[in-house]
Structures are given as structure tokens and as C-alpha cells.
Amino acid sequence: MFPLVVTQLSKSYGSHQVVHDLTFTAGPGRVTGFLGPNGAGKSTTMKILLDLAAADHGTTRIGDRRYRDLPDHARTVGVVLEPDAFHPGRSGRNHLRVLADISGFSLRRIDEVLELVGLTDAAHRRVGAYSLGMRQRLCLAAALLGDPPVLVLDEPGNGLDPQGIHDLRAVLRERAAQGHTIFVSSHLLAEVELLADDLVVVDKGRLVTTGALADLKQAAVTVRSPRAEELAVRLTAAGGTVETASAAGTLTVRGLTTDLIGDLALNAGIALHELASGAGSLEEMFLRWTGDEPAEGASRRSRLIPTAAATRKEAVRS
Amino acid sequence: MRWLRIVRSELRKLTTTKMPWAFLGVIVLLAAVTGAAVIWGTDMDGSKGFIATAADQQSLMAFAGNAMMGAALFGAVAVAREFGHGTVVPTFLASPRRARTVTAQVVAVLLAGALLSVIGAVLIVSSVALALQFTEYGFLVPAGGVLRVIVASSLTGAAGGALGAGVGALIRNVGGAVTVVVGLLFISPPMLIQLVPEMTDWVPSTLAWSISGVLAEPGVLAAIAAVAVWALVPVLAGIMATLRRDVV
């Protein structure tokens, strides 16, 4: 089992701090989505995890070791980092042969992964003639060469067609079910919502939230009432964190259960037109977490979202 | 032997692009030009004195200086483009011990530089021998002299490849690395001699002539050692830079 453990990680480029005291864990047997806006520090974190960049402070471990101390890197960690990390004049198959030479993989294994990613017919063509999706498939083939128990993937769905994304999801889910650790950075939030078990969300280099996606989604309750303002005061007094949504009379409440909110409203004689658990789609949650204004009907407030663990603790306390 | 596997991988990188063929093309062109010069070229006085003696012919065939420059350019482009294309990333992921990996890269380029240089020397010797058939002079260089020209080319080619690889790892940009190599081997030696005349014997071109048996000074062993120093300094600088810097 190889959990990925990032502890108090910090990294600056000149005076610009791109990762700030970042701590999280991605567990085995889970697909962990690594989310954040552009420039949030995701790629830098991955590069430090993989020993391609040095941290100013903090540690990263795969299992209980630094990446460089792993016994057989290609058989332990498969990586998709940059879809353009190819010589355009080299064929896809030769790119894999270069990697196979270092780690001692057979030609048969190259054929297997090419078949797995659907590149067998294009294997002898030079990579410069590949589409973005084909280069992405080749990256994935390279990552899977060693059949590793850990996959670290930066935007693996970039450029893939719907069938490719479906196949990728199937491969990752299957490997997670086998106990593998899957750590995926992606901007395709709908895809992450279908794929991820856990989330790590960063913004401006800092951890915004982390936890099981299901818990994060259940950590909020949507309430609609014609006396929303009055209800918001009572819910806040009861220990909840209340956000006012742009839709009239709609509140997003954290830290209180649906039962408790229903009872509070009943005792106050406030009618409820809607009471539902769930914080909306991942896209809505992401936009709230990262401070961008969400689409119509979603919350106005931002950056008040505690981590999932803190939310659970809060709920228990209330 | 993981290190040997990395060398093999680096050699495969070099042989699975068109770059070696481009350098081979240049070598063939150079050999053809040399042959043409033997057939149609003359000294200032209109004579063919430049091919009249065995020493003259050996001097004409001494490819070691060109080999060092060519192999250095080859090495600089081969390693710097690894960073440009990002293909160094999967290599360092599979082999994150950077000193070991860069050393393997240097050795692979060194071997390729030596091989290209031997091919170059053989082609030049063959071209001169063939061209002499069309002149009044025969091929006068003894077998030992021919062997020395070829061995000298392989040594300076190897050193040039290593030098270029070191510069490539240090600069990490193809244009910049090529510029530095040209500066090191082509521009800086005359300036160095201007500043310190005693350095005449220790610049790459003089050392290559000496190893090829064209010049007596400095001695062969001293010249080989000096060429090795010219190569080792950039190699060590490249390794140190790679250890200290982020890969991407």
C-alpha cells in the first residue's frame, strides 16, 4: 500500500510563493481528485512529490519513502505530467522503448499498453503527427508500463474524446478497486465528480478543503423559505454557517442536519418550501471554495467552507 | 546494472531521431569537399604542395579538431533539446538519481561522438585516398599514421561529445548551448592565446593536431589529458547544475 503523504509543503519561485504549508493525504484504494484554479500550485506540488522540484519546506512521501528512495520507480509510480514531453520526430513505440530500456520492460509489455490505450495502429507514426488526445494516450501508456500501484496524473483527460475519457475512468476505477492509489489533477469537474472518491482542493497554494467527496457534498443543506433572513439568524445562533444564495429565499447551511433545521423552523413557525441535503454540484462547490462567483442560483459567499473534518466535528457538536 | 540500462536508453534516444543522420550528412559533405580540394585545389603558388609529402597528407586528413567541434555541437543539441522537448522528465522519473542519470547521458553522447568521429575520419581518409588517384601523387601516409588519425578523431570526438553534453545540461536551451560550444571551442581559444601566449599548446585545435601526430608539442599523453580537462569542466558544471536546479 502506497499512500501519498504531503506534510507542511511550501515552495516559492523568487518572491512568489506557489505552495504554502500544504498538508494532505491521498489514500490507497481511492481515487483522489486534486483540484484548484490555474496557478493554485497543483503541478508544482506534483513535481515536488515526484522529485522533479525541491521543496523549500515540508516533506512528501510515497508509502513511507521519498520518491527518489523508492526501489523501482517505474514499477511503483506511473506518471502523466506534460502531454508534450515527447520528441516530435520519435515514434510512439520508440518513446516507450526508451522508457522500457531504463526499467527493463519487455517489448511485449509495450505492445500490451499500446493496445490498452488504443494506440497500436499509430505506434509507428512519429509523435509530432499525433493529436493532443493521442499524445495523452501515449502518456497514459507510459504511466502504465510498469503496472504501478500508484498513479499520479496531471490533467489526464486533456484532449481525450468522450470514449477516451470513459475508458480512462474505467481504467482508474478498476485500479483503485485493486487497492491502487490514484491521484488525479483535473479541470474537468464533471469528470472528477464521476471519478473521485476523495478531494484535495487548493487555491493560491493553500489547502482549501479535503475529504471524501460524498462527505463534502453532504456537508451542506439547501433551505428555501419565504422568511429566509429570519431563519438565517436562528440557524446561525444554533451554530450553523449560513450562506445566502442568489436565488430569492434560498440558504446554504453548514454544520446543522436537516432534522435540526426542520425542527428549528417548526419551533419558530417559519414555513420551509425546500429542505434538502447536498451542497450542489462539484462545480458549484469548487467555485465557492476557490472564491469565484458561481453560476446563477448558487451561493454568493465564499471562503467560509471549513474542511470536511471540521464540518463533521461541527455537526457533531451541534 | 541500472546505469548501463540508462546508457542504453540514452543511446536509443539518439538513434531514434534524425539528428545523427543530419550530422552524418555533414560529415559526408566534408569528406567530399576534402576530396574535391585534393583533386582541384592548389597552394597559393599554383602547386600541389599541400599533398606532396606524407606529413602534408596526414595533416590534411587530421580530422580530430573538426571531430571535437562537431561532436561538441552534437552533444550540446542532444542534451539541451531533452530539456526543450521535456523528454528529460520521464527519464528523471524513471531514474531520479540525477548525477547517475546525467553521467549516463554524457557517456551515451560521448560514445556517439566517438563513433561519428571515427566514421568522419574514415570517410576523410577514404576520400583523400580516392582523390589522390586523380593526381600525380600517391597515398603516402603509412598505416600507423592512418590509424593515429582515426584514433585521434575518436578521442577528440568522445571528448567533444562529453563537453557538449555538459554544456547542454548546464544551459538547457539548444540555441544557448550551441552558442556556448562555439564560443568555447572556436572563439575563446584565439582570445586566450592573445591574452596568454603560453596557452597556444593547450587550446583544442593544437591538442587535436598533436594527438593526430601532426604536431610534436605538446606530447600525446599531455594533449589527451588536456583534452579530457576541456571536456570534464563542462561535464562537472552540468552535473552540479542538474543536481541543484529543479528539473521543470
Instruction: Give CA–CA dist B101/B96, Å, rounded.
Output: 7
pLDDT given for residue A306 in this prediction? 38
Is the same domain home to A43 and A87?
Answer: yes
Give the model confidence (pLDDT) of A105-135 as tens digits: 999 999 999 999 999 999 999 999 999 999 9
Does pLDDT of B215 surpass 60?
yes
Residues linked to residue A7 through DSSP beta bridges, in sequence order: A59
Residues of A in contact with B18 (CB under 8 A): 89
Is the same domain home to A225 and A206?
Answer: no
Is the same domain home to A255 and A203?
Answer: no
Residues A81, A154 contacting (CB under 8 angstroms): yes
Angle at A44 (CA atoms; ends A42, A48), nearest 5 degrees? 120
Is the same domain home to A77 and A105?
Answer: yes
Domain assignment of residue B124, given as a range: 2-244
Give the model confidence (pLDDT) of B1-51 as tens digits: 789 999 999 999 999 999 999 999 999 999 999 999 999 999 998 899 899
Is the same domain home to A55 and A110?
Answer: yes
Q: Which of A12, A99, A101, A124 to mutate to test binding with chain B, by most B CBs within 10 Å of its CB?
A: A101
Instruction: Give CA–CA dist A242/B12, Å, rounded.
Output: 61
Q: Which of B199, B61, B215, B45 is nearest to B123 (CA)?
A: B61
- CA distance to partner chain A, nearest, from residue B248 (Å): 6
Is the same domain home to A123 and A140?
Answer: yes
Residues B145, B58 contacting (CB under 8 angstroms): yes
What burial letters (b/e) apply to A179-216, b meaning 16+ CB within 10 Å?
Answer: ebbbbbbbebbebbbebbbbbbbbbbbebbbbbbbeeb
pLDDT given for residue A219 in this prediction? 77
The minimal CB distance from B90 to the residues A67, A84, A99 is found for A99
Is the same domain home to A208 and A275?
Answer: no
pLDDT given for residue A292 in this prediction? 55
Is the same domain home to A232 and A176?
Answer: no
Is the same domain home to A14 and A149?
Answer: yes
- CA distance to partner chain B, nearest, from residue A210 (Å): 27
E-assigned strand segments in A27-136: 31-35, 57-62, 77-80
Is the same domain home to A175 and A240?
Answer: no
Q: Which residues of chain A have pLDDT under 50?
A: 293-318
Give the model confidence (pLDDT) of A6-63 as tens digits: 999 999 999 999 999 999 999 999 999 999 998 899 999 999 999 999 999 999 999 9
Distances (CA, A) of B100 to A75, A85, B3, B7: 19, 21, 7, 10
Last residue of a domain, one of A212, A239, A255: A212
What is the residue-averaged pLDDT of chain B? 95
Count of A-B CB contacts under 8 Å: 88
- The CATH number covering residue A139 comes to 3.40.50.300
Distances (CA, A) of A8 to A61, A112, A198, A268: 12, 39, 19, 45
Query: Can you state the angle between helices B204-212 and B143-171, rounded to 10 degrees?
Result: 150
Domain assignment of residue A130, given as a range: 4-212
Q: How many domains does chain A have?
A: 2
Residue A289 makes CB contacts below 8 A (sequence gap 6+) with: A201, A203, A208, A209, A302, A303, A305
Query: C-alpha grid cell for residue B173?
Result: 536551451
Last residue of a domain, one of A178, A212, A246: A212
Is the same domain home to A38 and A101?
Answer: yes
Last residue of a domain, one of A179, A212, A245: A212
Residues A53, A47 contacting (CB under 8 angstroms): yes
CB contacts under 8 A, A 71-100 vs B, are 73-74, 77, 79, 81-82, 84-91, 94, 97-99
Which has more confidence, B239 or A251?
A: B239
Q: How many domains does chain B have?
A: 1
pLDDT given for residue A279 in this prediction? 64
pTM, two decimals, is 0.86
Residues linked to residue A151 through DSSP beta bridges, in sequence order: A78, A182
Is the same domain home to A161 and A276?
Answer: no
Chain A contact for B1, CB < 8 A?
A: no
